[in-house]
Amino acid sequence: MFNLFLAVSPEIFIINATFILLIHGVVFSTSKKYDYPPLVSNVGWLGLLSVLITLLLLAAGAPLLTIAHLFWNNLFRRDNLTYFCQILLLLSTAGTISMCFNSFEQERFDAFESIVLIPLPTRGMLFMISAYDSIAMYLAIEPQSLCFYVIAASKRKSEFSTEAGSKYLILGAFPSGILLFGCSMIYGSTGATHFDQLAKILTGYEITGARSSGIFMGILFIAVGSLFKITAVPFHMWAPDIYEGSPTPVTAFLSIAPKISISANISRVSIYGSYGATLQQIFFFCSIASMILGALAAMAQTKVKRLLAHSSIGHVGYIRTGFSCGTIEGIQSLLIGIFIYASMTIDAFAIVLALRQTRVKYIADLGALAKTNPILAITFSITMFSYAGIPPLAGFCSKFYLFFAALGCGAYFLAPVGVVTSVIGRFYYIRLAKRMFFDTPRTWILYEPMDRDKSLLLAMTSSFITSFFPYPSPLFSVTHQMALSSYL
């Protein structure tokens, strides 16, 4: 019985820890006895500790995957793919929280609820990664979406943050309804919601007529709802405004966490419970469109966060390449791509957050950064070169594995498009390095030194980005096992 509880304890713990953090903040922040203290740093450290303990519980439960699978087999599935994606999600959440401490204090942003609302959607995404039923999938995705709407507008004194939250709330309601309608159509056509049952129905019998049309439309609606959440073209229109208006740590969280959870869940849907060819064609189109639009639209941007938003749209296209393959190599390259993308994004947004403390907003403001803070300029350049896919950095390996998987499955048009868009994307990434090292700014800005938390975070992510190319075997072997487990 203890082993059974240990297998499912990470989700239970993070739910309870989040509510305890919320009660702690409400009680002490309104206490006259303690002179109404600002609790952002206090709650932030406790939130980071909660996420790390959840990570330890997840690691302790790794040998108990079989027990968890037997216990959760009705609505959830705990296997190696779940284990890998949940660890990556928790690491990304911990990195996001560690960005918040010093920046919130300097901006005098005393809303501790913003810290609480980072681990709160994480438990919904943990459930979504392991969801093995369309009902569980929808019930897991909705709580995380509601939290995203709130934290996007958490900077209440900023009209840009309020606008971002309002747009996200209005536009986010449509894909939620479309996703639910797609699940309803599949249930109405098959009478099943469990992925195993759907796989048996769709592969064991020939489905024709109106029933086939209902299943096709249901799969299409599920794909549309999911692609909207990860900012894939043509459902990307909300991303630049919301990424720019949200607080920078929130933007980093929105750039990483939903992509991890939804990618893991959609991989299960595409493998077990739907027409493989139908989803493959949808992802094929969205992958090409995202790569092209992300590369071309980013060239016209003048603001750093909007540039990173369009870069995120382009990288969604590269990551979708793994789904378009529909093979074990495709899933493996997808996992490698998401892991490297998460590392690069945390690195980039930590630097942007440090620069925004001195009111750096536009790309032109980066002029002569190499003269005033050379280490930060070199780190930012390495991150941008990794985004561009320049060897010998981790971003090059990510794109190499993705394009190689595309060629292996016969997608001979997808890989050349990805190569061409990568070459186009190098223009605006190298432009940032050119600004930092060779341009002279109109007004010189004295950049404040980076705080210790972001420095440690940058040291870890930058070390991974630079050291992955000479020694990729550990991540390669781990992701290969995860990809194999998804097909067994």
128-140 pLDDT per residue, tens: 888 888 888 888 8
Task: Please compute the mean of the pLDDT values over residues 62-88 and round it to a whole number.
Answer: 67
List, for residues 206-255, the tens digit of each pLDDT value.
555 556 777 778 888 888 888 888 888 888 888 888 888 888 888 888 88
Residue 107: predicted pLDDT? 62
Q: Render 311-376 in DSSP notation, one character per residue.
A: HHHHHHHHHHHHHHH-SHHHHHHHHHHHHHHHHHHHHHHHHHHHHHTTT--BGGGGTTHHHH-HHH
- Answer positive or negative: Cα dihedral of 252, 253, 254, 259: positive
pLDDT category, 70, cuts 50, 70, 90? very low
Residue 356: predicted pLDDT? 66
pTM of this structure? 0.90
Task: Please compute the mean of the pLDDT values over residues 442-460 and round it to a whole number.
Answer: 77
Task: Please compute the mean of the pLDDT values over residues 81-95 and round it to a whole number.
Answer: 88
**C-beta separation of 54 from 25 below 8 A:** no
For residue 273, pLDDT over 60 is answered with no
Chain centre to alpha carbon of residue 248: 14
Encoded amino acid at 468, one letter: F
Tokens representing 171 are: 């536009």
Residue 67: predicted pLDDT? 46
Residue 209: predicted pLDDT? 54
Tokens representing 59 are: 């690691």
pLDDT mean across residues, the chain: 80
Q: What is the rounded radius of gyration, in angstroms, for the C-alpha atoms of the chain?
A: 22
Residue 447: predicted pLDDT? 67
CA distance 6 to 57: 7
Q: Which residue has the higher pLDDT, 20 or 268?
A: 20
User: CA geometry: angle at 450 spanning 156 and 161, to 5°?
Assistant: 15
Residue 66: predicted pLDDT? 47
List, for residues 283-330, the tens digit of each pLDDT value.
888 888 888 888 888 888 888 888 888 888 888 888 888 877 777 888
Q: Which residue has the higher pLDDT, 209 or 28?
A: 28
Q: Render 396-426 in DSSP notation, one character per residue.
A: HHHHHHHHHHHHHTT-TTHHHHHHHHHHHHH
Lowest mean pLDDT among 62-71, 109-118, 364-373: 62-71
Q: Work out the end-to-end distance of the chain between its first and last CA atoms, rounded to an integer number of angstroms.
A: 27
